[in-house]
């Protein structure tokens, strides 16, 4: 049986990543027109046939989150109405992922709402990367492939001759930090912090403090937003005698004055991926290093298109990570 034609479509949130992905796949982006009317309504038109095709839409729902999400929904609806064979939403960064549960009375579970919207708009399958909470893939009533950027970040630090201690920035990130520590054959510590308000937390204690003094530390997280908590945690670790302090995260959200805050901090370097487009025009990113996830996503797209296992991508990284995927 002839396999449906592979087509890759890019929204406007991270065109550079999409171009890198098609370069790896040795194909091209489907001709798509996206424009905004005077009142900021989004208009989408596909300028070539997608009938019966296996279509992958690459769009991070990052800042401006509402606009990029709406753009994704409109692209999906357009493809469904154009009789695409199968539509996979490739979401390198899943916005609203932190609103994953009803933590207080009379609050929404917006991560679930967004999942419903994407499915209703026409997606048949989801490919996502390092969502904030592992229950989010379960919010979809369609197949979800959940990728992890750990191999990309791990390879960066593996090339160094230094020995590291891995630090989890909070109790919720212990599994992520433990897996990273296992890959690097490193010890780990955990920061115990209390969140007094949104985007603000106070370091109360360090579990495994005896590992900190004189050590090269890597703070491992899924995202860096305002960087306030990250920088204050690094300051506490420096006062406890750390030799050097790195941070790595899949998603560099970098809201408000995050970059300035990082540049003024005791952090030696912050390593993120290009899941979110980083526009360095007019900004000093001297402490930021961006690694590409284009090859990882391209390989996953190829495997999905050919109906091959995506989980086996991570078999070399260790059995625990594969368990987390499935």
Q: pLDDT band at residue 170, thresholds of 50, 70 and 90? A: confident
Helix axes 174-184, 150-158, angle to 10 degrees: 40
Assess whether 193 carries a catalytic annotation.
yes
Question: According to the model, what pLDDT value does residue 173 have?
Answer: 87
Q: Residue 8 in contact with residue 22, Cβ under 8 Å? A: yes
Kindly state the tokens that stand for 268. 């030696």
323: pLDDT confidence band, cut at 50, 70 and 90? very low
In this structure, how many other beta carbons lie within 10 angstroms of the beta carbon of residue 84? 25
Q: How do beta strands 269-273 and 288-291 pair?
A: parallel
- Give the three-class secondary structure for 299: helix
CB 195: neighbour CB atoms within 10 A?
A: 11
Span 229-253, mean pLDDT? Answer: 95
Using CA atoms, how far apart are residues 222 and 249, in angstroms rounded to an integer? 5
Q: How many CA atoms lie within 13 A of 212 on its CB side?
A: 23
Mean pLDDT of 251-270: 95
With a cut of 70, say whether residue 185 has pLDDT above it.
Answer: yes
| CA dist., res. 196 & res. 7, Å (int) | 47
DSSP characters over 48-61: S--BT-EEEEE---
Whether 47 contacts 29, CB under 8 Å: no
Which pTM does this prediction carry? 0.92
User: Which domains are seen in the chain, by residue range?
Assistant: 6-148+294-325 (3.40.50.2020), 150-291 (3.40.50.2020)
Task: Indicate the pLDDT class of residue 322, thresholds 50, 70 and 90.
Answer: very low
Identify the band that residue 320 occupies on the pLDDT scale cut at 50, 70 and 90. Answer: very low
Stretch 305-319: mean pLDDT, rounded? Answer: 77
* Three-state DSSP state, 22: helix
Confidence check: pLDDT of 252 > 60: yes
Which pLDDT belongs to residue 315? 64
Tell me the pLDDT band of 204, cut-offs 50, 70 and 90. low
- The yes-or-no verdict on residue 319 having pLDDT over 60 is no
Over residues 30-46, mean pLDDT? 96
From the list 158, 193, 213, 239, the catalytic residue is 193
Residue 99 and residue 111 in contact, taking contact as beta carbons nearer than 8 Å: yes
- The helix-helix angle for 110-121 and 65-81 (nearest 10°) equals 30
Q: Where are the beta strands (DSSP E) in 122-256?
A: 125-129, 144-147, 164-168, 187-197, 200-207, 216-224, 244-252
For residue 225, which of 98, 122, 115, 130 has the smallest C-alpha distance? 98
pLDDT for the residue 282: 58
pLDDT of residue 76: 98
Q: Among 52-61, 98-107, 167-176, 230-239, whose mean pLDDT is lowest?
A: 167-176
What whole-number percentage of the chain has pLDDT above 70? 92
């Amino acid at each position: 049986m002839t396999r449906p034609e592979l087509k890759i479509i890019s929204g406007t949130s991270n065109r550079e990543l999409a171009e890198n992905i098609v370069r790896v796949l040795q194909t091209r982006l489907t001709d798509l027109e996206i424009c905004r009317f005077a009142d900021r309504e989004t208009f989408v038109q596909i300028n070539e046939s997608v009938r019966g095709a296996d279509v992958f839409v690459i769009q991070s729902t990052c800042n401006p989150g509402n606009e990029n999400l709406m753009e994704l929904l409109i692209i999906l609806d357009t493809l469904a109405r154009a009789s695409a064979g199968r539509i996979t939403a490739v979401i390198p960064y899943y916005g609203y992922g932190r609103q994953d549960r009803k933590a207080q009375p009379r609050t929404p579970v917006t991560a679930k709402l967004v999942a419903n919207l994407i499915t209703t708009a026409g997606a048949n399958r989801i490919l996502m990367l390092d969502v904030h909470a592992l229950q989010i893939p379960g919010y979809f009533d369609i197949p979800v492939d959940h990728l992890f950027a750990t191999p990309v970040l791990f390879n960066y630090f593996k090339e160094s001759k230094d020995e590291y201690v891995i630090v989890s920035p909070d109790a919720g990130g212990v599994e992520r930090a433990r897996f990273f520590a296992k890959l690097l054959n490193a010890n780990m510590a955990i920061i115990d912090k209390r969140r007094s308000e949104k985007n603000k937390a106070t370091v109360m204690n360090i579990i495994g403090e005896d590992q900190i003094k004189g050590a090269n530390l890597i703070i491992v997280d899924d995202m860096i937003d305002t960087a306030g908590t990250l920088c204050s945690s690094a300051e506490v670790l420096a006062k406890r005698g750390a030799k050097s302090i790195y941070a790595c995260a899949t998603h560099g959200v970098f809201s408000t004055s995050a970059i300035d805050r990082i540049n003024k901090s005791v952090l030696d370097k912050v390593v993120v991926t290009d899941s979110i487009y980083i526009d360095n025009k007019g900004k000093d990113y001297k402490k930021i290093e961006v690694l590409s996830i284009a090859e990882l996503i391209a390989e996953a797209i190829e495997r999905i298109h050919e109906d091959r296992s995506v989980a086996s991508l991570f078999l070399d990284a260790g059995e625990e990570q594969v368990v987390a995927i499935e």
